[in-house]
């Protein structure tokens, strides 16, 4: 018989320890979130040296609203990726909802009714994904790849080559307005509010724990009596709802809608989530990490934009960062567990990557020096 | 995780310190006019832009095309650089890789952040860029558009290459000439479905086609090549397959016309299918001579870029405010007057489209 209480027999070693495992002070800092904080510091410091426009409150306020649609869609994406699934249709759902609202507005329907209808349509879109993935049990990648095309097609079907324009100012406030008299855009405040809610659900509720457990071992979770199918259905519906909300924010920000709005944004959403430490295989991640990574990507893109580095070229830096974000934790893990038997090959390749990364940035600062000096 | 609250605290501190340091830097934007005040008529009453310009050195203007890698815009940049040399200003050429409104808005936001002295934009989406244009104007940066306009509120005035109607009408006329007396089926191969100038021209073309003298021409389809060479090529090939009796392809985009002419040549349809539209002389010379695209039209984008920079300079130095009736001198092109048009708002008219064919194509080198 296994002794379950350490008090009953002080001499024998109890097999189940009732204290939390001790971790060294240093290992607490080996979390990915700290790496993100460090990177943000570096980005801020470097960019402040290079240009006076980086830490300007007005500029930051203006540029932050560029990323809020990605942020809103990233919140449920974190849930989905933690369960080990994916949702490629978010940007198309966003376009579809925004186009539907635009169509209704063009037909003369009241803007708020149209917005509510758009939210409903987006949620239904998420439900379709959820149904096919959780009930019919089709693979998430294939289903959302299909709806990625399907919803974008519907967006074009609603608006054709028209635009919807002339939204009332009360509505465009959601994308363009600021909170009270401050410089904080309403969309940022909305994102932060939703992020806190999603973060609390993920880390402080049993629903959130179920997500992690589904990601770690779906079968075991299922056999433990957790309603896995229902949970998956809920998170995909949530993703659809947030995508349509992001669509409304985008329409409000542009003051108009065209069917191609937001094409390609799903990759930015997934990048932000994965860079934030959410493991693509599922089971690990934190909302704080995702939030920090969105901040990092936003600051990096803003800083590179100020140096007139072209959008596609910025992708080199983001891409390298993403690869490193997967490489470094695994390096640290294998180094700490291997002790003397370090795998020199992977250590060397990681070092090479880091070198390439650093050299890339050096090259860019050097090549853009003339441009920077001019402005 | 045990130290989550520590992270949250640290992130909050980080954000707070950034905000504080930002508030610490002296704000040259203190004289910004609130964005709500920038209606089109009120634009003229804004403080003259000269007082907003950063004190240091020569002025920097930015030419923002629809996308990079487009020879039409590269030529307008050449004209802009010519004007820059004459005026003693710096002109940067910045654009997104794709003709996408979201990317253009992000680019414009970073240019506004850098407090450049003027923006000359060819818009990918006339409505979506209005808030951004308004912000730039409110920040004291004069905004003009060329080639493809932003909505009336989002720019001070538009540099119009030619009267809208003339551009559409001349393309139909050329198509009718090429189709011959019997007329036939024609198709339009456009750029992106959201480009304002393209849509305006297509509307005019449909209007002109309804006239009795063009009754023998039948428009079968409008396809979109997205100003992408490969997509335009594929769309042209699809047209040949779908409409075996197709006589003319009208491509009012320099990327589309070159791709269509190449498609006609590769498919061995020279003489059977004619290509016309808007193109640049250097790109189209071989097709004019081979007969794939016997005639096409354009205005000179070089002059358009040149004119845009002179316009920005006039606005930035306070020479004009952007009000109807004002005139400014644009170097070797002469004087231009700002007119008002019910659809287009305030605009400056550059000229009229010019037809290129085998007899004159060798006279041009751009």
Give percent above pLDDT 90 in chain B.
Answer: 33
Is a pLDDT exceeding 70 seen at residue A13? no
Report yes or no for ipTM above 0.85: no
Half-sphere exposure of B180 (CA within 13 A, CB side): 9
Half-sphere exposure of B263 (CA within 13 A, CB side): 27
Query: DSSP letter at B193?
Result: T
Q: Which of A33, A63, A256 sits opposite B127 (nearest CB)?
A: A256
- pLDDT for B242: 92
Q: Which residue has the tokens 């606005």?
A: B315
User: Mean pLDDT across the stretch B178-199?
Assistant: 87
Architecture per CATH, domain B45-161+301-351, reads as 3-Layer(aba) Sandwich (3.40)
Residues A311, B103: C-beta atoms closer than 8 Å: yes
- pLDDT for A126: 96
User: Mean pLDDT across the stretch A257-264?
Assistant: 85
- pLDDT for B18: 53
User: Mean pLDDT across the stretch A43-65?
Assistant: 86
- pLDDT for A222: 93
Is a pLDDT exceeding 90 seen at residue A198? yes
Contacts of B90 in chain A (CB under 8 A): 374
User: Is there a contact between B249 and B275 (Cβ–Cβ < 8 Å)?
Assistant: yes
Instruction: Tell me which of A13 and A176 has the higher pLDDT.
Output: A176
Length of chain B: 366
Distance in Å, alpha carbon of B193 to nearest chain A alpha carbon: 5
User: Mean pLDDT across the stretch B121-127?
Assistant: 88
Architecture per CATH, domain B164-299+356-363, reads as 3-Layer(aba) Sandwich (3.40)
Q: Which of A242-246, B305-309, B361-365 shows the lowest mean pLDDT across its residues?
A: B361-365
Residues 82-141 of A with CB under 8 A from B: none
3-state secondary structure at position B312: helix
User: Mean pLDDT across the stretch A169-189?
Assistant: 83
User: Mean pLDDT across the stretch B275-304?
Assistant: 88
- pLDDT for A30: 61
Q: Which of A161, A254, A302 sits opposite B199 (nearest CB)?
A: A161
Residues 163-222 of A with CB under 8 A from B: 163, 165, 172, 176, 203
- pLDDT for A139: 94
Contacts of A154 (CB under 8 A, 6+ apart): A96, A99
Quickly list DSSP for B25-94.
S--GGGGPPPGGG--TGGGGGSPPGGGGS-SSSS-EEEEE-SSSS-HHHHHHHHHHHHHHHHHT-EEEE-
User: Mean pLDDT across the stretch B7-35?
Assistant: 48
Domains B45-161+301-351 and B164-299+356-363 share a fold: yes
Cα–Cα distance between B211 and B200 in angstroms, integer?
Answer: 18
Distance in Å, alpha carbon of B225 to nearest chain A alpha carbon: 14
Is a pLDDT exceeding 60 seen at residue A156? yes
Is a pLDDT exceeding 80 seen at residue B12? no
- pLDDT for B116: 92
Is a pLDDT exceeding 60 seen at residue B152? yes
User: Is there a contact between B102 and A247 (Cβ–Cβ < 8 Å)?
Assistant: no
Q: Which of A32-36, A75-79, A162-166, A171-175 shows the lowest mean pLDDT across its residues?
A: A162-166
- pLDDT for B190: 92
For Cα atoms B83, B89, B93, give the angle at the middle one, nearest 5 degrees: 70
Residues 246-275 of A with CB under 8 A from B: 253-256, 258-263
Tell me: the pLDDT tens digits for B225-279?
Answer: 988 899 999 999 999 999 999 999 999 998 999 999 999 999 998 888 999 999 8
Instruction: Tell me which of B21 and B169 has the higher pLDDT.
Output: B169
Is a pLDDT exceeding 90 seen at residue B301? no
3-state secondary structure at position B339: strand
Cα–Cα distance between B318 and B311 in angstroms, integer?
Answer: 11
Is a pLDDT exceeding 60 seen at residue B44? no
Contacts of B100 in chain A (CB under 8 A): 260, 263
pLDDT tier at A61, thresholds 50, 70, 90: confident
Tell me: the pLDDT tens digits for A301-328?
Answer: 898 888 888 777 788 888 888 887 887 7
- pLDDT for B35: 35
Q: Which of A109-113, A342-346, B30-34 shows the lowest mean pLDDT across its residues?
A: B30-34
Is a pLDDT exceeding 70 seen at residue A22? no
Best residue in B59, B97, B102, B190 for a mutation probing chain A (most A CBs within 10 Å) = B102
pLDDT tier at B143, thresholds 50, 70, 90: very high
- pLDDT for B52: 41
Instruction: Tell me which of A268 and A338 has the higher pLDDT.
Output: A268
Cα–Cα distance between B228 and A322 in angstroms, integer?
Answer: 29
For Cα atoms B255, B228, B301, give the angle at the middle one, nearest 5 degrees: 35
Integer angstrom CA distances of residue A281 from A88, A206, A278, B38: 15, 21, 9, 51
Nearest to B150 by CA among A127, A352, A165, A123: A165
- pLDDT for B308: 92
* B100 in reach of chain A (CB within 8 A): yes
Contacts of A161 in chain B (CB under 8 A): 193-194, 199
User: Is there a contact between A72 and A192 (Cβ–Cβ < 8 Å)?
Assistant: no
Residues B19, A374: C-beta atoms closer than 8 Å: no
- pLDDT for A343: 67
Is a pLDDT exceeding 90 seen at residue B37? no
Is a pLDDT exceeding 90 seen at residue A245? yes
Contacts of A42 (CB under 8 A, 6+ apart): none
User: Is there a contact between B298 and B355 (Cβ–Cβ < 8 Å)?
Assistant: no
> Cα B239 to chain center, whole Å?
27
Cα–Cα distance between B354 and B184 in angstroms, integer?
Answer: 25
Query: DSSP letter at A259?
Result: T
Instruction: Tell me which of A174 and B315 has the higher pLDDT.
Output: B315
Residues A262, B102: C-beta atoms closer than 8 Å: yes
Contacts of B4 in chain A (CB under 8 A): 203, 286, 288
Is a pLDDT exceeding 50 seen at residue A374? no
pLDDT tier at A86, thresholds 50, 70, 90: very high
Is a pLDDT exceeding 90 seen at residue B30? no
Tell me: the pLDDT tens digits for A274-308?
Answer: 998 888 888 888 999 999 999 999 999 898 888 88
Tell me: the pLDDT tens digits for A206-229?
Answer: 999 999 999 999 999 999 999 999
Instruction: Tell me which of A120 and A255 has the higher pLDDT.
Output: A120
Helices in chain A by DSSP H: which ranges?
Answer: 25-28, 32-50, 57-64, 68-82, 90-106, 111-130, 140-159, 169-176, 186-204, 206-216, 218-223, 228-254, 265-275, 287-306, 311-338, 344-367, 369-374
Beta bridge partners of A168: none
User: Is there a contact between B208 and B268 (Cβ–Cβ < 8 Å)?
Assistant: no
Q: Which chain B residue shows the shortest CA-CA distance from A265?
A: B102
- pLDDT for A365: 67
User: Mean pLDDT across the stretch B183-208?
Assistant: 88
Domain ranges of chain B: 45-161+301-351, 164-299+356-363
Give percent above pLDDT 70 in chain A.
Answer: 86
- pLDDT for B42: 35
Distance in Å, alpha carbon of B162 to nearest chain A alpha carbon: 24
Burial annotation B199-231 (CB, 10 A radius, 16+ → b, else e): bbbbebbeebbeeeebeebbbeebbbbbbbbeb
Distance in Å, alpha carbon of B84 to nearest chain A alpha carbon: 14
Torsion of CA B151, B157, B160, B163, to 10 degrees: 80
User: Mean pLDDT across the stretch B81-106?
Assistant: 88
Domain ranges of chain A: 65-285
Contacts of B84 in chain A (CB under 8 A): none
User: Mean pLDDT across the stretch B146-163?
Assistant: 88
**A333: buried, middle or exposed (CB in 10 Å: 19+, 13-18, 0-12)?**
exposed
Tell me: the pLDDT tens digits for A359-372?
Answer: 877 777 677 655 54
Distance in Å, alpha carbon of B281 to nearest chain A alpha carbon: 29
Contacts of A288 (CB under 8 A, 6+ apart): A33, A199, B4, B7, B8, B11
Cα–Cα distance between B25 and B8 in angstroms, integer?
Answer: 26
Best residue in A165, A311, A368 for a mutation probing chain B (most B CBs within 10 Å) = A311
Contacts of B10 in chain A (CB under 8 A): 37
Strands annotated E in chain B = 60-64, 90-93, 118-121, 143-146, 157-162, 184-190, 217-224, 246-251, 274-277, 295-298, 327-329, 335-337, 339-341, 345-351, 354-357
Cα–Cα distance between A284 and A221 in angstroms, integer?
Answer: 15
């Amino acid at each position: 018989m296994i002794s379950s209480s350490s008090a009953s027999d002080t001499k024998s070693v109890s097999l189940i320890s009732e204290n939390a495992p001790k971790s060294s002070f240093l290992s607490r800092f080996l979390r990915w979130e700290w790496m993100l904080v460090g990177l943000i510091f570096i980005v801020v410091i470097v960019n402040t040296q290079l240009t006076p426009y980086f830490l300007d409150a007005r500029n930051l306020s203006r540029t932050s609203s560029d990323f809020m649609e990605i942020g809103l869609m990233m919140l449920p994406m974190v849930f989905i990726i933690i369960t080990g699934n994916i949702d490629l249709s978010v940007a198309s759902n966003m376009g579809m909802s925004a186009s539907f609202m635009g169509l209704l507005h063009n037909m003369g329907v009241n803007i708020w009714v149209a917005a509510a209808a758009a939210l409903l349509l987006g949620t239904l879109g998420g439900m379709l994904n959820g149904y096919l993935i959780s009930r019919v049990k089709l693979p998430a990648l294939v289903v959302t790849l299909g709806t990625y095309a399907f919803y974008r097609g519907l967006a074009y079907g609603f608006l054709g080559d028209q635009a919807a324009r002339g939204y009332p100012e009360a509505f465009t406030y959601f994308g363009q307005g600021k909170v009270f008299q401050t410089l904080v855009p309403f969309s940022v405040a909305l994102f932060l509010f939703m992020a806190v809610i999603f973060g609390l659900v993920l880390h402080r509720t049993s629903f959130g724990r179920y997500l992690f457990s589904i990601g770690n071992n779906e079968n075991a979770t299922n056999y433990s009596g957790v309603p896995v199918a229902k949970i998956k259905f809920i998170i995909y519906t949530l993703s659809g709802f947030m995508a349509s909300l992001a669509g409304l924010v985008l329409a409000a920000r542009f003051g108009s809608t065209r069917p191609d709005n937001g094409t390609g944004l799903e990759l930015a959403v997934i990048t932000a989530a994965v860079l934030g430490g959410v493991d693509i295989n599922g089971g690990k991640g934190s909302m704080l990490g995702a939030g920090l990574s969105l901040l990092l990507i936003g600051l990096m893109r803003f800083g590179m934009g100020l140096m007139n580095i072209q959008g596609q070229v910025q992708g080199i830096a983001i891409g390298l960062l993403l690869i490193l974000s997967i490489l470094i934790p695994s390096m640290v893990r294998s180094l700490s567990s291997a002790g003397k038997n370090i795998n020199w090959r992977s250590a060397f390749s990681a070092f090479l990557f880091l070198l390439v990364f650093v050299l890339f940035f050096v090259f860019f600062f050097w090549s853009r020096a003339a441009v920077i000096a001019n402005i | 995780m045990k130290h989550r609250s520590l992270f949250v605290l640290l992130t909050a501190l980080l954000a707070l310190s950034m905000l504080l340091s930002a508030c610490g830097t002296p704000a040259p934007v203190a004289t910004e006019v609130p964005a709500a005040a920038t209606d089109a008529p009120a634009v003229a009453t804004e403080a003259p832009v000269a007082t907003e310009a950063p004190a240091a050195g020569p002025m920097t203007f930015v030419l923002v095309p629809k996308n990079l890698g487009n020879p039409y815009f590269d030529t307008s940049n050449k004209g802009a650089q010519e004007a820059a040399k004459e005026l003693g200003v710096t002109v940067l050429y910045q654009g997104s890789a794709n003709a996408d409104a979201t990317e253009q808005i992000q680019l414009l936001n970073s240019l506004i952040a850098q407090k450049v002295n003027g923006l000359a934009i060819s818009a990918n989406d006339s409505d979506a860029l209005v808030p951004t244009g308004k912000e730039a104007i409110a920040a004291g940066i004069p905004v003009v558009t060329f080639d493809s306009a932003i909505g009336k509120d989002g720019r001070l005035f538009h540099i119009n290459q030619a009267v809208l109607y003339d551009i559409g009408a001349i393309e139909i006329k050329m198509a009718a000439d090429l189709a011959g007396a019997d007329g036939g089926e024609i198709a339009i191969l456009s750029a992106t479905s959201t480009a304002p100038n393209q849509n305006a021209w297509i509307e005019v073309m449909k209007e002109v086609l309804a006239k009795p003298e063009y009754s023998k021409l039948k428009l079968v389809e409008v396809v979109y090549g997205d100003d992408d060479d490969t997509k335009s090529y594929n769309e042209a090939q699809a047209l040949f397959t779908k409409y075996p009796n197709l006589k003319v392809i009208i491509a009012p985009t320099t990327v589309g016309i070159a791709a269509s002419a190449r498609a006609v040549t590769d498919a061995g349809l020279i003489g059977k299918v004619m290509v016309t539209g808007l193109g640049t002389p250097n790109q189209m010379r071989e097709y004019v001579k081979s007969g794939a695209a016997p005639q096409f039209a354009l205005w000179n984008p070089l002059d358009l870029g040149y004119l845009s920079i002179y316009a920005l300079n006039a606005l930035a130095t306070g020479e004009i405010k952007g009000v109807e009736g004002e005139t400014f001198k644009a170097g070797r092109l002469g004087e231009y007057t700002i007119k008002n048009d019910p659809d287009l708002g305030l605009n400056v008219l550059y000229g009229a489209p010019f037809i290129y064919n085998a007899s004159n194509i060798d006279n041009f080198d751009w």
